[in-house]
Structure 1
Amino acid sequence: MNTFSLTLTDNPEPERLKALGDNLMDFNDADVGSAQRRLLAIFIDDEAGALKGGLYGQTGWGWLYVQWLWLDQDARGQGMAGQLLAKAEVEARARGCHSAHIDTFNPLALKVYLRAGYEVFGVLEDFPQGRTRSFLKKRLMTD
């Protein structure tokens, strides 16, 4: 029998995290096939070149995952979030993705995503305390 040790840290070494991720991806690729992951980022800049918003995520296994969508206060209320989602979805379709998913605990963001055609498929209550984290999905291609 092998002997193992467990190490808990709040400051992991970047190369150990990379090794952990690489090993998990190798396992998953062998188990269900290559995800063919590709990063996707869209940035919004003002006329001075300052970052005012953007979207970051990835595509893989036929899905677009939007990890971050942020807008500076002065870029809100102008339909920019919907434009970011639409642009990401067009690229995801071009990459062969059939669906997209995103999550949020912000009630205003939830309304934006619902307006953009996303539907809630799961929730976590009190994540964070007093809020509900909603998980949403959207079909990008019809069968």
Structure 2
Amino acid sequence: MDERPDHPGDHAPRHPRPRPSKHRTRKPLRHNASDDETPFSIRLTDDSGVLLGGITGWTWGGCGGITSLWLESEQRGQGLGSRLLIAAEDEIRRRGCDRAVVATMSFQAPGFYRRHGYQEVGRTPDMPDGTAKHHFYKRLSAVDPADSVNS
């Protein structure tokens, strides 16, 4: 399927998938687990299908990463962010990964990730307006998927 618009007036999709090149300029030295980068996206909708939030990320070489977690402001504080994060961790595990990483700004959600067992492994200081970027890591254990549903 071509991700480009058919006509000049059409709009491109919001999140086009990267398309692999048909031509390689050189052969890889060897095949390994780090050749498996794959994005994921999980949407949270209400009963009528209205988007309330979502989480995006990737898996690669046995590791999963959270790129973005977003909720409508009216939906915050109800545990929905936790549900999205748990769903993302379950997807990361399902893909055979045993660790996850995420970065967040100091004014966003460092406490949220700490509460979910992420350990801060680094900090980039001197970001705009005196903020910092916090880098987190979590070792994921194998869990029964039923445990995540009840959390």
TM-score bracket, shorter-length normalisation:
0.7 to 0.9
Counting helix residues as a fraction of each chain, which structure ranks higher? 1
Name the amino acid aligned to 1:118.
Y
Question: Relative to structure 1, is the Cα distance of residues 130 and 31 closer, same or farther in structure 2, using a 3 angstrom cutoff?
Answer: farther
Find the counterpart in structure 2 of residue 140 from structure 1: 140
In 2, Cα distance between equivalents of 1:28 and 1:111 = 41
Partner residue in 2 for 1:118: 118
User: Residues 79 and 32 (structure 1 numbering): CA distance in 2 closer, same or farther, change over 3 Å?
Assistant: same
Which structure 1 residue ranges, 5 or more long, are not aligned?
A: 1-17
Equivalents in 2 of 1:96, 1:40: separation in Å? 14
Alignment correspondent of 1:83:
83
Contact conserved, 1:29 with 1:35, CA < 8 A, in 2?
A: no
Deviation at 1:71, TM superposition (A): 0.8
Match of 1:37 in 2: 37
TM-score (norm. length: structure 1): 0.73
Tell me the TM-score normalized by structure 2.
Answer: 0.70
Residues 28 and 34 in structure 1, CA contact (< 8 A), matched pair in contact too? no
Determine if contact 2:33/2:62 at 8 Å carries over to the other structure.
no
The one-letter amino acid paired with 1:57 is G
Q: Kindly provide the amino acid, as one letter, of the partner of residue 134 in structure 2.
A: S
Matches within 5 A, 1:1-143: 30=30, 33-141=33-141
Question: Is contact 2:33-2:60 (8 Å) kept?
Answer: no
Q: Is the 8 A contact 1:105 1:128 kept in 2?
A: no
1:38-83, CA deviations, whole angstroms, 9 ceiling, x for partnerless residues?
A: 2111111123322111000110110111101111101100111111
What RMSD in Å do the two structures reach over aligned CA positions? 2.9
Classify 1:101/1:27 alpha carbon distance in 2 versus 1 (closer, same or farther; 3 Å). farther
CA–CA distance in 1 between the matches of 2:22 and 2:105?
Answer: 29
Q: CA deviation at 1:135?
A: 0.3
Secondary structure of residue in 1 paired with 2:85: helix
Query: What is the CA–CA distance in structure 2 between the aligned matches of 1:115 and 1:27, rounded to whole Å?
Result: 44
Which amino acid in the other structure matches residue 66 of structure 1? I
